[in-house]
Chain A
Amino acid sequence: MGKKDCIGGGIFTCLGIVIWAFTFSFPELAAIGSVHAHPGPSLFPRVLGTLFIFFGSLVIFSGWRTSKLPPPPPPPEEEDGVKIAPLNYFNPILVIILIAAFIALAPKLGFIITGAAVLAVLMIKLHVAPLKSVIISVCVICVIYFVFAKFLRVPLPQGILTPLGF
């Protein structure tokens, strides 16, 4: 965790510096009856930028101290005699890809078709049988559509199903 803390702290420290840099282009409050202008839109972001730099530096320092300590033991590779499968790093990326695909396709294809496709793809990737995935996805998306669009009157996009008048 030591090195990762140094990187994380560094990112937030840089964020603080970037925030400060942006605020130089913000206007100030004109003063009435005084020589100096007062900070306006820049004040709060500058305070936050300073706090990011301060706490980010604390995290870097803490990470540096932790890195001097002996590393923790690696996680076990077996449990009860069964080998533990490695983490699947692609699946979280797939979740984000599916959300992005929903954003792009739902206005055109409609909530029902896009939502069912997204559900089915993720279920299949999580080792649910394909036919079962499709059936469950269609049923679930219809229930969600009914609750949100019909009961709660949320205008979910209908896309190519618009002529059917849902």
Chain B
Amino acid sequence: MEFAIQGLLLLSEPKTLVTIVVCSMYGLFVGSIPGLSATLAASLLVPFTFFMDPVPALVSIVTMSAMAIFAGDIPAALIRIPGTPSSAAYTQDSFALTQQGKAQLVLGTDVLFSAVGGLMGAVVLMTSAPLLAEIAMKFSTFEYFWLAALGLSATVMVSADSQAKGAISMCLGLFLSTIGVDITLGYPRFTFGSVDLLNGIDFIPAMIGVFGISEIMRNVMEADRKMIFAVKKVQTKGIFKGVWPLFRKYQWNMWRSGAIGTFIGVLPGAGADIAAWIAYAVSKRGSKEPELYGKGSIEAIVDAGTANNACLAGDWVPALVFGIPGDSITAVVIGVLFMKGLRPGPMIFEQQPEIIYAVYFAFIIANLLMVPFGYLAVKTSSQMLRVPKHILIPIIMMMAITGAFAMNNDVFDIIVLGLMGIIGFFMERHGYPVAPIVLGLVLGPILEQNFMTSMIKSDWNLTLFFVRPISAILGGITVAMWGFPFLMAFIGNTKKKNGAPAQ
């Protein structure tokens, strides 16, 4: 209790409070611009943390990352370009609801459920960090392989129109992730002698291309049709009004997705994007209206939006307890901890507990601040919809090009942007979902690396993928997920043959 009070006192110092406010706005700004990731924002913060005390330095990254993950939902809803990969899972639903005139409901839902998810993750972090870390340490390459396979399977299972087409999109993303130097022998695969391709395909310009450029190409194709240039009236008054009934209706969804997000965050290397996709897939499976998913389901946004913010606090569990980064942001955090003379690990809980409590309370304050700041961010960015589309679309195109270049300062990324835009445009016109491409690109290296490492260390014994308890459970769920559609089709056909109506 004494250390908790000390932690609160550390947070209440004026310069720490100013840091929280400034970094919140910085996180909102960066998260809402496609091409600028939360990791980039954290990296840009590091030079400023040189001049800060340990508590403001850590708190700055906590508040920035919480705001950035939520802010990625704003461009996803308004212009169909996710600000961060964790928003990609429900971009289609968010944008579809905006097209139906429900922008304020979507954005209000994003704000409140992201805050709730973040608070849930923070409470779990406070109460169970060491225990969760013990469970996370039982995960080896076999478990990580199945987790990545589960996340990928989820994207295919939720494909609205055709699961075969969803699988093809996922395989395309996985194939693009194989371009570059392979992890076993360092052999260049599919590079055709190009030095740029040796580094592989970066997922950020690919993501902006398949979502943003393809949407721009679709919009300009309808340029001669007057009706699409009508300025839409956007109501931002009372963005929370329609959200309160959702808390009652989707209470169970919220708790479930908060648990999923927090647990996935605890696993090192598994980030908010996997959490969002798994929560989305579980939501669709359990929903009474699964046909709405992909076409504008507010339930999907509740689930995935809660999960990706709950994941953030979970990412700090392995970082604080073992010094192992939970995601790329906490990798930066570990660097900052060492810079400030702090050693992440079990000893930090005994030697400097007041700093740990300050971090816990920073998560809570950041997620509480998300409501008023998020409201302001939504009001400001919603003005974008008042801009006539024939002016807005070229501006979005320019932002996409600049955002793609900003990641690595490499013109090659703009080439990737353009090519992925063409691929995304043609694939969507023919009913192929594009979100699985992005997840395939992100999870492909994790999937292959863990599979090959597992095979090498087990001397190519495949049975070990099902012998370890956690691996067996995850593997069973993944295999069941793939077998479920065939099983349902078989049951349906059997019922038809027996004269009963198929369900």
User: Cβ of A160 < 8 Å from any Cβ of B?
Assistant: no
Cβ of A45 and Cβ of B411 under 8 Å apart?
no
CB contact between A48 and one of B44, B175, B184 (< 8 Å): that residue: B175
CB contact between B162 and one of A45, A62, A99, A127 (< 8 Å): that residue: A62
User: Cβ of A4 < 8 Å from any Cβ of B?
Assistant: yes
Cβ of A128 and Cβ of B390 under 8 Å apart?
yes
User: Cβ of A19 < 8 Å from any Cβ of B?
Assistant: yes
Chain B positions within 8 Å of A38 at CB level: 455, 460
With A122-B394, A126-B390 already in contact, the answer to whether A55 and B182 are too (CB < 8 A) is no
Interface readout for A143-157 with B: 1 if CB under 8 Å, 0 if not?
Answer: 010001000111110
How many residues does chain B have at the interface if contact means C-beta atoms less than 8 Å apart?
A: 60
Q: Look across to chain B and name the residue whose beta carbon is closest to the beta carbon of A45.
A: B178
Chain B positions within 8 Å of A40 at CB level: 182, 184-185, 187, 452
With A52-B168, A140-B398 already in contact, the answer to whether A126 and B393 are too (CB < 8 A) is yes
Interchain CA distance A137-B218 in the complex, whole Å: 22
Interchain CA distance A22-B171 in the complex, whole Å: 17
Interface size class of A (residues with CB under 8 A): 35 or more
CB contact between A125 and one of B182, B223, B452 (< 8 Å): that residue: B223
User: Cβ of A161 < 8 Å from any Cβ of B?
Assistant: no
User: Cβ of B102 < 8 Å from any Cβ of A?
Assistant: no
A107 → B minimal CB distance (Å): 7
Cβ of A1 and Cβ of B397 under 8 Å apart?
no
Cβ of A22 and Cβ of B405 under 8 Å apart?
no
Cβ of B168 and Cβ of A154 under 8 Å apart?
no
With A26-B187, A128-B390 already in contact, the answer to whether A88 and B399 are too (CB < 8 A) is no
Interchain CA distance A102-B401 in the complex, whole Å: 9
User: Cβ of B422 < 8 Å from any Cβ of A?
Assistant: yes
With A58-B164, A153-B44 already in contact, the answer to whether A88 and B221 are too (CB < 8 A) is yes
Q: Look across to chain A and name the residue whose beta carbon is closest to the beta carbon of B460.
A: A38
Cβ of A148 and Cβ of B406 under 8 Å apart?
yes
Cβ of B394 and Cβ of A119 under 8 Å apart?
yes
User: Cβ of B329 < 8 Å from any Cβ of A?
Assistant: no
Interface residues of A in 16-59 (CB under 8 A from B): 19, 22, 26-27, 29, 38, 40-41, 43-45, 48, 51-52, 55-56, 58-59
Cβ of B190 and Cβ of A123 under 8 Å apart?
no
Cβ of A122 and Cβ of B178 under 8 Å apart?
no
Interfacial residues, chain A to chain B (CB-CB below 8 A):
1, 4-5, 8, 12, 15, 19, 22, 26-27, 29, 38, 40-41, 43-45, 48, 51-52, 55-56, 58-59, 62, 79, 84-89, 91-92, 94-96, 98-100, 102-103, 106-107, 111, 115, 118-119, 122-123, 125-128, 136-137, 140-141, 144, 148, 152-156
- 23 cross-chain CB contacts under 8 A: A8-B432, A12-B172, A15-B175, A26-B189, A29-B184, A38-B455, A40-B187, A43-B452, A51-B167, A59-B162, A95-B213, A96-B421, A98-B397, A99-B213, A99-B421, A119-B398, A125-B220, A126-B223, A127-B390, A140-B395, A144-B402, A155-B409, A156-B402
